[in-house]
A and B are shown apart, each in its own frame.
Chain A
Amino acid sequence: NAGVMQNPRHLVRRRGQEARLRCSPMKGHSHVYWYRQLPEEGLKFMVYLQKENIIDESGMPKERFSAEFPKEGPSILRIQQVVRGDSAAYFCASSPTDRRYGYTFGSGTRLTVV
């Protein structure tokens, strides 16, 4: 069981470019969550997805950010036209159907916008 896999681990983008962050949940987990962690701050919820469905996107910025979790393949967090303020660590977590058993986090993708 490889755990929650995120790639890339580090991503550098110039302002205005697009960033694509990938997350493969643990085997058997059907729920995926994306969190953002700014320096010196706690994790902030962004979006919660199940296969082919966005369940809760109340933490997503209204513009430039989108997420998907297709039937096949990893979940993708997409940031268009990145700005310096997007620089952060983006963590993905997954859980089985019964969320009482908690979340397993990936190692994160560190996005740096230059």
Chain B
Amino acid sequence: KNQVEQSPQSLIILEGKNCTLQCNYTVSPFSNLRWYKQDTGRGPVSLTIMTFSENTKSNGRYTATLDADTKQSSLHITASQLSDSASYICVVRLWPNTGTASKLTFGTGTRLQVTL
């Protein structure tokens, strides 16, 4: 069964600190992996998208890594800000990329809270 598991389930950090969120998947064959940020009461917003051949991708203070061999990805947030408080969702897409939308598998997310 294709699954995406994220850890930790929730995380509280102090403003200015760094943190790393984990995503393990069993989706196969793999096409790409995306990280989304979902603020409370809002829809998910894309942060990064990585294909099989990409190991790392950055978007400002967000850096995502991908190890397609071990089927693991991480999202590293540097110098956290209060506005980073949100759920971070890992989404994996099955190959082939031109398939239907049902080929996306969503993780349940990591709830990050950044405090003063």
Which residues of chain A have a CB within 8 Å of any CB of chain B? 4, 6, 31, 33, 35, 40-45, 48, 55-56, 58-59, 91, 93, 99-100, 102-108, 110
Contacts and interface: CB of A to CB of B under 8 A. Distances in A.
Interface string B91-116: 00000011011101011110000000
Given A106-B43, A107-B42, A45 B104 contact: yes
Contacts of B104: 45
Given A91-B43, A108-B42, A100 B106 contact: no
Given A42-B89, A42-B108, A105 B44 contact: yes
B57 interface: no
Q: How large is the interface on B (under 10, 10 to 19, 20 to 34, 35 or more residues)?
A: 20 to 34
B60 interface: no
B43 A4 contact: yes
B101 A56 contact: yes
Given A100-B97, A102-B34, A43 B102 contact: no
B49 interface: yes
Contacts, number: 55
9 contacts: A31-B101, A42-B89, A42-B106, A43-B44, A45-B101, A91-B43, A99-B97, A102-B34, A102-B46
Contacts of A40: 108
B102 A107 contact: no
B12 interface: no
B45 interface: yes
Contact of A55 (B46, B100, B108): B100
A43 B106 contact: yes
Contacts of B97: 99-100
Nearest to B36: A105
A93 B108 CA distance: 18
